[in-house]
Structure 1
Amino acid sequence: MSIMPLEKRGITSSRLILGFMGFGGDWETGEIGKGELADAERGLDMALETGITMFDHADIYKRGKAEAVFGKCLKNRPGLREKIIIQSKCGIRFADAANPARYDFSKSHILGAVDGILERLGTDYLDILLLHRPDPLMEPEEVAEAFSSLLKAGKVRNFGVSNMNAGQMKLLQAYIGSPLVVNQMEMSLKKIDWVDQGVHVNQSAGLETHFSEGLIEYCMLESIQLQAWAPLAKGLYTGRTDFASAAEEETAELVAMMAKEKETTKEAILLGWLIRHPANIQPVIGTTNIERIKNCQDATRQASLMTREEWYRLYIASRGNRLP
């Protein structure tokens, strides 16, 4: 496998990312208890033990408590901050008594959101800030001003996006002075079914996403790190039994068989399938289960061992035994 796009830009990170969305308790407001902190501590420790040194956040996760509990973990580990990569996202605003749920890429919101993120995490800077899903009202000049201010202040070192198509990225890149280094989107072995709202499915690079044709290729050409959220398909092939189709059940059986033959875990097979792709995809693991985190550690090795035929066997099985 070739070098990851992030590494080309001098951002040293692990092949896998631990997403912290599930930590911090429930989605209601309130204090972080000892139990929530203990869970986060165990998750962080297991990640570090298995070689994961990059962590994904967003200001909305658990209404800020996911970042806050991570900040408490960092405080208990002096010196760890400089050894890890932290990214967070902003741009989604929840509904309240006066306003609907909405996206907000205004300069004032981005700047205020980053200040809140840094305070909760207990750090002076973010390695990467992502815009959290596209905002139809995005004014690229205003985003550029916010990014420039954050960069000059030393609060953010790199910028990226999530769930954007190639056209949206090109538009934004034309205005900002620093390169977009990440695009995070949903990718996994699971077939994505988008049957309404005129959504296009991109299969040109052998992976399905709900974005325009050419997105994956554009990111490859521009050395933009593709990150996959929900890479384990919410446990569909590693433990769940509520299969929606015969193809899903058959794929789960194939994943289990390959894991047994290769003396590894089902999680490693699934993540290895993604990593095997030439785009050098970086999976974001969203589990809070420390055993599942541990089960992912063999993913990079399995990717290097996976043959073209094995990759296609999984791909075709998950698409109902036909080549798309």
Structure 2
Amino acid sequence: MKHVLRNLGCLLLLGCAVCLGQAAEPTDKPLPDIPALMHEVEIHQKASESMVKDYLYHSFATEQEQDSHGGVKKTETEESDIFYVAGARIRRVTKKDGKDLSPDEQKKETERIDKEIAKAKERQGKPTDEERDVVTVSRFLELGSFGNARRIALNGRDTVAVDFTGNPKAKTRSRFEGAIREMEGTVWVDEQDRSLRKIQGHFVNPFKVGGGLLADVKKDSSFEAEWTKVNGEVWLPSSASGQGAIRVLLLLNFHGNLRVVNSNYRKFKATATILPGLSTVEPDPQTPAPATPQ
């Protein structure tokens, strides 16, 4: 589970929240031009993927492993704090299966984080092979084809829902971007902010890299993701989930259900410390945090 939880935040392409209640809202207002809309969404998504590095947040992950009959064989949970150092995503585990780490586990976790921070500072601006393999959501938007737009009322805000399919003519940059050609689903866009609210989709065909050794995604595996507006300035990931059988190197590996909920986003402020030499942050009192599952 540790590899799954460590990297799922980097793979929101393979995740989303349980669908919120939604209903079509009659209006005479014309729908925006879809190509122009999605181009704006791409720009805003790239900005949010950069701005999230200014924040620290809490992550609660639940993985349910299924047996051969589809029943739940094992359930694991993990809580962690996520922050960025030298552009690299660092995960500090705080609880496993509802229990605080033991003193020995805390020591090992600190040693692991120290090594990750040192590596991040050493390679600043130079992504690792694993980081290059990650397909960002903004890149996903570039490789999709969109249509069938309709206006939806979502949590009191006008939202444009657009169906997507992988564009078979899109030029891929990595061995894993071809997975997008095997997907279809729906994207929800906040009409006012031109930012992502939700993604929901599934694999219409299986996807493999290296004969299944590097990546193996079973047909009908599904993914969802949802974003929330933080500090009135940016939409950041609030939850992600996946169902089915998905394995991508050491980045993601599960057979069953995986769900991650992010909460308590707050910007860095030099007022205390997370770890020696790292500034902590204070929550914005005007920004409510999504509830963490118990």
Q: TM-score, normalised by structure 1?
A: 0.26
The structure richer in helix per residue is 1
Q: TM-score, normalised by structure 2?
A: 0.28
The structure richer in strand per residue is 2
